[in-house]
């Protein structure tokens, strides 16, 4: 797929003290992309009043270059011990995206240029573990692979973790531009997970992401490069023909992976869910969405959150777990939620 290029760039004044911001400023000036300068990456406003659709599109076409000031990492259970944030939001427009929901009207893409300081903070958090292995999730607030062609940060982070006895990195992506990561000495300290779904879900809800074919090709390259590999199947959806579609997905995956029998393959299974807030945002941003958001047909988990009713959830879990065990007997299904 075509790599992301912003329509406009906003640079925080302080960011220009860092080499990456200076290089990006030059690159965007040379390519004629409009640049503006701002005080804080946390206070970005569109230049005029916009309706929710226009504002969402404006956010997704804007790149903000800033400095990450909060270096006290938040917990990231169940995926990892801590969130490692080097960017916020992403250029894709998945209709169900929980991140776009959490960010609300601030869904613009931010990249942080003070990587050395962020990695120093990683070291501090590893030390807090007093000898335990500490894991860091690089994709809790963005898709770092989607902006790697601009930042090169993920490559640097992977190299950094390769040297950490007690630190491990976890990455999730729906993007396929992994070629710059293949020759890195990663020391098996970074686990890549590709977020996959049935072709129906990708086509209808995962706009501006890599295709299924591209993701599987990228996953295969990552496996060939020796990285520990996993898959997140999410959000799992029930619709007419879902079983056949997920079967097709697993068949294709098995046929195309370099080593489908690898013993360190993992699967994480997450069913479709929404909240009252996300339903409102989705319906405003995607008025013709095919997402099923009918509260009456879902199970209310409390706090305004909805998931499939227990019987349907069990059906999804059983079917996917059984098929994964059949197709990838060596793999581990880590959880279903
Ligand atoms: S790729 Fe991930 S972070 Fe980006 S819009 Fe889709 S779900 Fe959200």
Q: For 109-137, how does the pLDDT look when each residue is reduced to its tens digit (9 = 90+)? A: 999 999 999 999 999 999 998 899 999 99
Indicate the pLDDT class of residue 47, thresholds 50, 70 and 90. confident
Nearest residue (CA) to ligand 1, atom 7: 97
> pLDDT tens digits, residue range 241-258?
999 999 999 999 999 999
Closest approach atom of ligand 1 to CA 139 = 3
Structure tokens at 333: 């299904």
How much is the average pLDDT of 2-25? 97
Structure tokens at 97: 């995206």
Geometric angle at alpha carbon 165, from 161 and 166, rounded to 5°: 85
Residue 174 CA, chain-centre distance (Å), reads 7
Q: How far is the CA of 162 from the centre of ligand 1 (A)?
A: 27
E strand intervals along 21-173: 35-38, 62-66, 75-76, 80-83, 87-88, 93-94, 109-112, 134-137, 167-173
Q: Which helix (H) or strand (E) holds 311?
A: helix 310-327
Q: How far is the CA of 36 from the centre of ligand 1 (A)?
A: 26
Structure tokens at 337: 């939620």
Q: Is the CB of 234 under 6 A from ligand 1?
A: no
Say if residues 89 and 108 touch (Cβ distance below 8 Å).
yes
Ramachandran angles phi, psi of 77, nearest 5°: -75, 145
pLDDT score at 36: 96
Q: Minimal CA–CA distance to 289: which of 302, 274, 300?
A: 274
Q: How far is the CA of 132 from the centre of ligand 1 (A)?
A: 31
Which residues have C-beta within 8 Å of that of residue 187, sequence separation ≥ 6?
Answer: 161, 162, 163
pLDDT score at 48: 86
Q: If you count DSSP H runs as helices and E runs as strands, how many of each does the chain have, helices first?
A: 11, 18
How much is the average pLDDT of 77-94? 94
Say if residues 179 and 158 touch (Cβ distance below 8 Å).
no
Average pLDDT, the chain: 96
Which residues have C-beta within 8 Å of that of residue 280, sequence separation ≥ 6?
Answer: none
Q: Is the CB of 95 under 6 A from ligand 1?
A: no
Closest approach atom of ligand 1 to CA 98 = 8
Percent of the chain with pLDDT over 70: 100
Which residues have C-beta within 8 Å of that of residue 57, sequence separation ≥ 6?
Answer: none
Q: How far is the CA of 241 from the centre of ligand 1 (A)?
A: 24
Measured CA to CA, the distance from residue 92 to residue 109 in angstroms comes to 10
DSSP conformation class of 127: H
Measured CA to CA, the distance from residue 66 to residue 86 in angstroms comes to 10
Structure tokens at 284: 């405003």
How much is the average pLDDT of 66-80? 93
Q: Which helix (H) or strand (E) holds 158?
A: helix 153-162
> pLDDT tens digits, residue range 189-213?
999 999 999 999 999 999 999 999 9
Measured CA to CA, the distance from residue 48 to residue 89 in angstroms comes to 21
Q: Probe ligand 1: pick from 100, 234, 235, max atoms within 8 Å of CB? A: 100
Closest approach atom of ligand 1 to CA 89 = 3
What pairs with residue 168 in β-bridges? 135
Q: Is the pLDDT of residue 46 over 90?
A: no
């Amino acid at each position: 797929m075509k790599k992301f290029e912003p329509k406009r760039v906003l640079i925080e004044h302080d960011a220009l003290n860092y080499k990456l911001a200076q290089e990006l400023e030059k690159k965007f000036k040379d390519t004629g992309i409009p640049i503006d300068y701002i005080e804080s990456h946390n206070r970005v406003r569109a230049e005029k009043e916009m309706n929710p659709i226009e504002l969402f599109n404006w956010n997704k076409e804007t790149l903000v270059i800033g400095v990450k000031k909060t270096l006290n990492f938040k917990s990231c259970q169940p995926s990892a011990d801590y969130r490692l944030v080097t960017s916020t939001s992403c250029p894709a427009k998945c209709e169900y995206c929980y991140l776009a929901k959490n960010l609300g009207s601030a869904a613009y893409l931010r990249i942080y240029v003070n990587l050395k300081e962020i990695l120093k903070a990683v070291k501090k958090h590893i030390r807090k573990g007093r000898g335990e292995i500490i894991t860091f999730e690089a994709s809790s607030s963005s898709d770092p692979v989607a902006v790697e062609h601009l930042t090169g940060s993920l490559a640097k982070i992977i190299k950094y973790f390769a040297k950490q006895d007690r630190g491990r990195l976890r990455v999730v992506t729906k993007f396929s531009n992994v070629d710059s990561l293949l020759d890195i000495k990663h020391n098996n300290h970074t686990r890549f997970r590709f977020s996959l779904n049935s072709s129906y879900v990708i086509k209808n809800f995962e706009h501006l992401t890599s295709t299924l074919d591209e993701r599987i090709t990228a996953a295969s390259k990552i496996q060939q490069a020796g990285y520990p590999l996993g898959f997140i199947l999410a959000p799992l959806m029930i619709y007419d023909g879902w079983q056949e579609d997920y079967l097709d997905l697993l068949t294709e995956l098995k046929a195309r992976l370099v080593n489908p029998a690898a013993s360190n393959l993992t699967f994480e299974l997450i069913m479709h869910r929404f909240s009252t807030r996300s339903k409102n945002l989705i319906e405003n941003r995607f008025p013709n969405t095919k997402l099923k958001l009918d509260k009456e047909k879902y199970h209310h988990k409390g706090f305004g959150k909805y998931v499939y009713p227990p019987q349907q959830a069990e059906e999804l879990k059983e079917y996917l777990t059984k098929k994964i065990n059949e197709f990838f007997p060596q793999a581990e299904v880590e959880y279903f939620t």
